[in-house]
Amino acid sequence: MTTKSQVKLAQRHLSDGGFDPGPVDGDHGSRTEAAVDRALTARVSQLPTGWDNWSKKRKLVAYIQLLCVDARIDTGPIDGFWGPQTDFAYESLVYLEIHGQLPPPWRDQQPATANPNDWPIEREADLRTFYGDVGTNQTRIALPYTHKIAWNLSERIGSFVCHEKVHDSLLRVLTRVLDHYGQDRISELRLDHWGGCYNKRRKRGGTSWSTHAWAIAVDYDPARNRLTWGRDQAAFAKPAYNTWWQLWEEEGWVSLGRTRNFDWMHVQAALLP
């Protein structure tokens, strides 16, 4: 069984994905049906054989199951059947889209935050021990995809200065971002709008050094993720960015948006005290 709100959710994602489902009206008409077909055709490797003979309702359910997979919600096998697991996964997806995070029971089951690179805690002494003095030990990262400078979008860069200890991890993250999203989606989501890394400055309104002074923090898309904006306004709080953040978090990087709900542009290789 599918409801109007389930169809609407699918239509929203189909529209975001460029599959042209028509208006988001909850009506599972021929245009939406064709859009689901196109979306599934683009993901055949994730579907069982014979899926193309499924009913239009079953295909729609399979598409919603794939949306759950994208959000890393366990929906069971992609079979197009609306069982209890799919129902629970769907409810979690709806919650995620409204609140920007999974419902609490799921969150509690998530493993402790990964820190495979042993990033230090963001305290000046710890940062100096691990990274050295501010403005030292720098290198240049050659980017897997071109970045645009956020304050001058016509200027493109193929590299930027970062701390040598974060170089390899940063490269892994950005390579995975490219693998996952692809160039077109990166541009759409503005994952290439670079707001800076190295900047030898104090924290805004404070006397301690910013993590940018060690070149261990990167800002992305500052125009749509202003410093004081919370998840109701910040673009990077939207579900489309979940994988983006997960790829950073798997490497132990900390998003201030995800952890403190401000400065959603900023990600750093230092844990919060």
Q: Are 145 and 183 in contact (CB under 8 A)?
A: yes
The residue range among 39-47, 77-85, 176-184, 263-271 that interacts with Zn ion, by the rule CB under 5 A, is 263-271
Q: Residue 51 or 194: which CB sits closer to Zn ion?
A: 194
Least separation in angstroms between CB 155 and Zn ion = 19
Q: Does 193 bind Zn ion (CB under 5 A)?
A: no
Least separation in angstroms between CB 227 and Zn ion = 8
Q: Does 221 bind Zn ion (CB under 5 A)?
A: no
Q: Residue 32 or 211: which CB sits closer to Zn ion?
A: 211
Q: Are 18 and 187 in contact (CB under 8 A)?
A: no
Q: Does 122 bind Zn ion (CB under 5 A)?
A: no
Reduced to 3 states, what is the DSSP secondary structure of residue 263? coil
CA–CA dist 162, 113 (Å, integer) = 23
Question: Phi then psi for 215, rounded to 5 degrees?
Answer: 60, 40
Q: Does 219 bind Zn ion (CB under 5 A)?
A: yes
Q: Under rule CB under 5 A, how many of the chain's residues touch Zn ion?
A: 3
Q: Does 266 bind Zn ion (CB under 5 A)?
A: yes
Least separation in angstroms between CB 193 and Zn ion = 13
Residue 36 Rama label (left phi>0; alpha psi -120 to 50; beta): alpha
The residue range among 6-14, 36-44, 163-171, 258-266 that interacts with Zn ion, by the rule CB under 5 A, is 258-266
Q: Are 79 and 98 in contact (CB under 8 A)?
A: no
For the chain, the C-alpha Rg in angstroms (whole number) is 21
The residue range among 56-64, 185-193, 230-238, 260-268 that interacts with Zn ion, by the rule CB under 5 A, is 260-268
Site for Zn ion in 15-54 (CB under 5 A): none
Least separation in angstroms between CB 147 and Zn ion = 15
Q: Residue 192 or 219: which CB sits closer to Zn ion?
A: 219
Strand order in the sheet with 193-196: 152-163, 138-149, 193-196, 217-220, 266-268, 254-255
Q: Are 175 and 144 in contact (CB under 8 A)?
A: yes
Chain residues binding Zn ion by CB under 5 A are 217, 219, 266
